[in-house]
């Protein structure tokens, strides 16, 4: 019996595989922005005098007490910028305007001089002191002071109001709105003008 010849079927052509989707590369987390160090608000010049103004309430410690004691540590500063001025920029021999704050009148009462290198403020470690800081480590003290010496007491306090009215003192840090810093630099030209106003014996 004859058999029917059958043509073998061609195998179906393989369909090209659908391209596999390449997984997206994992995004690297964005690097945190680099924090720029805060700009130094003051640079000590290489040459020429550097002058300061330091505030104290006269009922706590005034120019009369410094005249009596001749030298004293400038204790109790609890502002980082004021501390930095004393710690990083003051040098022995720098002249200082001694300013009476919260007084009647508030104003410049005399002249002092930086008399020593910065030292740890001992009041930060004294639990009985109003300036005690329990978090300050004696091995790395947080607060510093400088010794100052008496130079001159003015015949009269140069009041803040009179200083504000003087055009020659325009731009003086003390006279800027909201300026409450207890230690601040003073331009030599402003310092000399204050000495002239007070008819001071001290010369810069």
Q: Give the Cα separation of 119 and 83 in Å (integer).
A: 11
pLDDT at 36 over 50: no
CATH number for the domain that contains residue 189: 3.10.590.10
Looking at the domain assignment, is residue 10 inside a domain? no
Q: Please tell me the predicted confidence (pLDDT) of residue 56.
A: 97
Q: Please tell me the predicted confidence (pLDDT) of residue 40.
A: 52
Mean pLDDT (the chain) is 86
Looking at the domain assignment, is residue 89 inside a domain? yes
Looking at the domain assignment, is residue 35 inside a domain? no
Element (H, E) at 163: helix 160-164
Looking at the domain assignment, is residue 38 inside a domain? no
Looking at the domain assignment, is residue 42 inside a domain? no
The residue among 11 and 103 whose pLDDT is bigger is 103
Range of the domain at 185: 51-197
Looking at the domain assignment, is residue 202 inside a domain? no
Q: Please tell me the predicted confidence (pLDDT) of residue 15.
A: 52
Q: How many domains does the chain have?
A: 1
Q: Give the Cα separation of 165 and 198 in Å (integer).
A: 15
Looking at the domain assignment, is residue 17 inside a domain? no
Give the distance from CA 65 to its chain's centroid.
28
Looking at the domain assignment, is residue 68 inside a domain? yes
Q: In a 3-state reduction of DSSP, which class is residue 119? A: strand
């Amino acid at each position: 019996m004859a058999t029917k010849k059958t043509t073998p079927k061609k195998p179906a052509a393989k369909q090209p595989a659908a391209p596999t989707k390449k997984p997206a590369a994992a995004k690297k987390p964005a690097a945190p922005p680099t924090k720029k160090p805060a700009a130094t608000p003051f640079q000590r010049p290489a040459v020429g005098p550097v002058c300061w103004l330091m505030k104290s309430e006269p009922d706590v410690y005034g120019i009369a007490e410094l005249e009596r004691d001749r030298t004293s540590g400038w204790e109790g500063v609890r502002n980082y910028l004021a501390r930095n001025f004393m710690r990083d920029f003051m040098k022995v021999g720098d002249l200082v305007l001694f300013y009476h704050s919260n007084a009647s009148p508030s104003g410049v009462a005399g002249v002092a001089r930086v008399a020593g290198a910065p030292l740890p403020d001992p009041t930060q470690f004294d639990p009985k002191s109003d300036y005690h800081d329990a978090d300050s480590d004696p091995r790395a003290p947080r607060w510093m002071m400088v010794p100052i010496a008496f130079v001159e007491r003015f015949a009269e306090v140069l009041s803040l109001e009179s200083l504000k009215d003087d055009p020659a003192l325009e731009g003086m840090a003390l006279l800027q709105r909201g300026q409450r810093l207890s230690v601040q630099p003073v331009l030599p030209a402003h310092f000399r003008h204050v000495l002239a106003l007070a008819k001071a014996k001290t010369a810069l």
